[in-house]
Amino acid sequence: MAELRTSMNPSVPVQELQLAWARLRVEADVGLRRGAWYRVTRFTPSEVFLDIQRSPIGVPRRLVEVVLGRPLRWSVVPRPRDASKLPPQLGAPYAVCPVCRTRAPLEGRPGKMACPKCQGMFGVAWEERYLTKSETKDEE
Protein backbone atom coordinates (compact mmCIF):
# COMPACT_ATOMS: atom_id res chain seq x y z
CA MET A 1 0.00 0.00 0.00
CA ALA A 2 1.35 3.44 -0.92
CA GLU A 3 1.92 5.82 1.96
CA LEU A 4 2.09 9.58 2.37
CA ARG A 5 4.00 11.62 4.92
CA THR A 6 2.34 14.41 6.87
CA SER A 7 3.51 16.71 9.64
CA MET A 8 1.11 15.13 12.14
CA ASN A 9 1.46 11.46 11.22
CA PRO A 10 4.56 10.12 9.44
CA SER A 11 2.65 7.43 7.51
CA VAL A 12 -0.81 7.86 6.04
CA PRO A 13 -2.46 5.28 3.75
CA VAL A 14 -3.48 6.73 0.37
CA GLN A 15 -7.16 5.79 0.86
CA GLU A 16 -7.24 8.27 3.76
CA LEU A 17 -6.14 11.14 1.51
CA GLN A 18 -9.72 12.40 1.21
CA LEU A 19 -9.61 12.95 4.95
CA ALA A 20 -6.52 15.19 4.81
CA TRP A 21 -6.67 18.94 5.45
CA ALA A 22 -3.86 21.50 5.36
CA ARG A 23 -3.08 25.08 6.36
CA LEU A 24 -0.04 27.32 6.23
CA ARG A 25 2.48 26.57 8.96
CA VAL A 26 4.79 29.51 8.17
CA GLU A 27 4.33 33.06 6.89
CA ALA A 28 4.06 32.74 3.10
CA ASP A 29 2.29 34.68 0.36
CA VAL A 30 0.84 31.78 -1.64
CA GLY A 31 -2.82 32.83 -1.85
CA LEU A 32 -4.02 31.01 1.27
CA ARG A 33 -5.80 32.68 4.17
CA ARG A 34 -3.67 32.51 7.33
CA GLY A 35 -5.19 30.04 9.79
CA ALA A 36 -7.67 28.61 7.26
CA TRP A 37 -7.90 24.87 6.58
CA TYR A 38 -8.17 23.55 3.00
CA ARG A 39 -9.03 20.05 1.78
CA VAL A 40 -6.05 18.18 0.30
CA THR A 41 -6.74 16.77 -3.16
CA ARG A 42 -3.36 15.13 -3.82
CA PHE A 43 0.31 15.00 -2.88
CA THR A 44 3.45 15.01 -4.99
CA PRO A 45 7.00 14.73 -3.62
CA SER A 46 7.32 18.52 -3.52
CA GLU A 47 3.75 19.88 -3.35
CA VAL A 48 0.41 19.45 -1.64
CA PHE A 49 -2.57 20.26 -3.86
CA LEU A 50 -5.38 22.03 -2.04
CA ASP A 51 -8.98 22.61 -3.06
CA ILE A 52 -9.19 26.39 -3.42
CA GLN A 53 -12.63 27.44 -4.69
CA ARG A 54 -13.03 24.06 -6.45
CA SER A 55 -9.65 24.30 -8.20
CA PRO A 56 -6.54 22.34 -7.20
CA ILE A 57 -3.72 24.71 -6.24
CA GLY A 58 -0.21 23.38 -5.55
CA VAL A 59 1.61 24.64 -2.47
CA PRO A 60 5.16 23.60 -1.48
CA ARG A 61 4.92 20.83 1.12
CA ARG A 62 7.39 22.59 3.43
CA LEU A 63 4.92 25.48 3.87
CA VAL A 64 1.91 23.51 5.11
CA GLU A 65 0.75 21.52 8.10
CA VAL A 66 -1.33 18.46 7.16
CA VAL A 67 -3.77 16.65 9.44
CA LEU A 68 -6.21 13.78 9.04
CA GLY A 69 -9.82 14.70 9.63
CA ARG A 70 -11.41 18.09 9.21
CA PRO A 71 -10.36 20.45 12.00
CA LEU A 72 -13.37 21.91 13.81
CA ARG A 73 -11.80 24.58 16.03
CA TRP A 74 -11.12 28.23 15.41
CA SER A 75 -7.49 29.01 14.53
CA VAL A 76 -6.03 31.80 16.66
CA VAL A 77 -3.93 33.88 14.26
CA PRO A 78 -1.43 36.60 15.18
CA ARG A 79 -1.85 39.78 13.18
CA PRO A 80 0.78 39.97 10.42
CA ARG A 81 3.39 42.71 10.45
CA ASP A 82 2.01 44.06 7.16
CA ALA A 83 -1.69 44.05 8.00
CA SER A 84 -2.77 46.69 5.48
CA LYS A 85 -5.30 44.28 3.91
CA LEU A 86 -6.94 43.38 7.23
CA PRO A 87 -9.67 45.46 8.84
CA PRO A 88 -8.33 47.13 12.01
CA GLN A 89 -11.36 45.92 14.03
CA LEU A 90 -10.11 42.31 13.74
CA GLY A 91 -7.56 43.03 16.43
CA ALA A 92 -4.56 40.96 17.36
CA PRO A 93 -4.83 38.06 17.51
CA TYR A 94 -7.95 37.22 15.51
CA ALA A 95 -9.75 33.94 14.77
CA VAL A 96 -10.42 32.04 11.53
CA CYS A 97 -13.48 29.78 11.24
CA PRO A 98 -12.57 26.13 10.58
CA VAL A 99 -15.48 25.64 8.16
CA CYS A 100 -16.03 28.82 6.11
CA ARG A 101 -12.66 30.59 6.73
CA THR A 102 -14.31 33.80 7.96
CA ARG A 103 -12.12 36.00 10.14
CA ALA A 104 -13.53 37.18 13.46
CA PRO A 105 -12.25 39.35 16.30
CA LEU A 106 -11.44 37.66 19.60
CA GLU A 107 -13.04 39.37 22.58
CA GLY A 108 -11.49 38.10 25.78
CA ARG A 109 -10.47 34.47 25.75
CA PRO A 110 -13.61 32.51 24.76
CA GLY A 111 -13.67 28.71 24.90
CA LYS A 112 -16.22 28.59 22.05
CA MET A 113 -17.42 31.05 19.44
CA ALA A 114 -20.24 31.19 16.91
CA CYS A 115 -19.24 32.06 13.36
CA PRO A 116 -20.97 35.24 12.12
CA LYS A 117 -21.12 33.80 8.57
CA CYS A 118 -21.85 30.04 8.75
CA GLN A 119 -23.40 30.16 12.26
CA GLY A 120 -21.35 27.14 13.36
CA MET A 121 -20.33 26.91 17.03
CA PHE A 122 -16.71 25.80 17.46
CA GLY A 123 -14.10 25.63 20.19
CA VAL A 124 -11.12 27.99 20.03
CA ALA A 125 -7.67 26.39 19.60
CA TRP A 126 -5.78 28.62 22.07
CA GLU A 127 -3.13 25.99 22.78
CA GLU A 128 -2.04 25.53 19.14
CA ARG A 129 0.28 28.56 19.08
CA TYR A 130 -0.30 28.97 15.33
CA LEU A 131 2.45 30.93 13.55
CA THR A 132 4.43 31.65 16.70
CA LYS A 133 7.65 33.65 16.38
CA SER A 134 9.75 30.49 16.05
CA GLU A 135 7.75 29.54 12.93
CA THR A 136 7.41 32.96 11.29
CA LYS A 137 9.95 35.07 9.49
CA ASP A 138 12.54 36.79 11.66
CA GLU A 139 11.33 40.07 13.12
CA GLU A 140 14.63 41.81 12.36
pLDDT confidence of residue 48: 96
Q: For residue 95, how many C-alpha atoms fall within 13 Å in the half-sphere facing its CB?
A: 27
pLDDT confidence of residue 55: 93
Q: Give whole-number Cα distances, 54 to 36, 38, 39, 40, 130, in Å.
A: 15, 11, 10, 11, 26
Average pLDDT by stretches of 10, the chain with 140 residues: 40 60 93 94 95 94 95 93 82 94 95 97 94 49
Going along the chain from its start, the domains and CATH numbers come out as 3-68 (2.30.30), 73-128 (no CATH)
pLDDT confidence of residue 81: 78
3-class SS string, 88-112: HHHCCCEEECCCCCCEEECCCCCCE
pLDDT confidence of residue 133: 56
Q: What is the DSSP string of 50-62?
A: EEETTEEEEEEGG
